[in-house]
Amino acid sequence: MSVATKLRSPVCEPRAILGPGGNRVRVSEDLKRKNEGMKKPQRPPRKPVSEMPETAVRNNVSVDSSCSSDSSSSGSLAKTVSSRRTVRRNGLRPRPVKVVPDGVEVGAVSPKLSGPPKRCDWITPNSDPVYTSFHDEEWGIPVYDDRKLFELLVFSQALAELSWPAILNKRDIFRKLLDNFDPSSVAQFTEKKLLSLKVNGVLLLSETKLRAIVENAKQVLKVQQEFGSFNNYCWSFVNHKPLRNGYRYARQVPVKSPKAEVISKDLMQRGFRCVGPTVIYSFMQVAGIVNDHLLACFRYQECSTVNATKDSKPKIEDTERLIEAVEKTRLS
């Protein structure tokens, strides 16, 4: 063997080539062809929304997610997805959504019920309906009629023996026996007439109170001659303008006031009877001379906005005479 033959390198097979994924031999052509045969077949192209069947649109059926998003932009398609297709998340069932029809206001679906009006604390659900109506319609309203003022003065005196509900339930009897509270008529009552003012055999009030009513009727006639009306006399003490206290709680409402003490003293100087400061303050409250409805009561603002009638305006000379009389009372 020659040297050339010895140095001739043996014939070797070609080396494998590294693929891009690492030290892996490239897959043979047969394996490639096998994998290509196992590929997932492609889906047919989707139809556009315009080519969808009309029945699917009318029945609110979504073909797929893209079609559902397209349908939300169309007024003829469904507004919400069916609850059966809703997927639970975190193990909780989603809360149903209340759909309000178009054109209906939310307030009309669930209207807010308003409760009873707020009244003064001394009016409760168990109060006599007559007393409640009296609070809502009369108590605290400014009064400018002489007969009405005389009636309220009598009722304020009767509070020493009767309650407001008892007085109101007998109001028609009071008016009948006292000639509708006409001062000129009551002033003519005799002792016999006075003792005949009975209800079921019982005097309407005590003899002391009945005699005081007759005497006060006589004094009202004198006040009318001096001041033109009992109305002018009563309202002149507050400059013909109701007083407003604005209390928040019933315990703050007093039983008398300095103004009531002044009026009481002047009335007693004139010959009125049973007209202490407590009686006069009750009279001021019920006649609207002072507004003692609580601030939270719905009647507080209503009574504050009531204005005096034109014929109730006082004369200047009447006011001057009243001021002089009050000054004399203070000095005495």
* Residues in CB range of 222: below 8 A, 6 or more apart: 270, 271
Which residues carry a binding-site annotation? Answer: 120, 135, 293, 297
Alpha carbon distances (Å) from 233 to 23, 128, 185, 275, 277: 121, 33, 20, 15, 17
**Nearest of 153, 325, 318 to residue 229 by alpha carbon:** 318
**Nearest of 308, 282, 149 to residue 223 by alpha carbon:** 149
Which residues carry a binding-site annotation for Zn(2+)? Answer: 120, 135, 293, 297
Distance CA 72, CA 81 (A): 10
Neighbouring-strand partners of residue 19: 22
The number of beta carbons lying within 10 Å of the beta carbon of residue 224 is 17
Structure tokens at 70: 């397209």
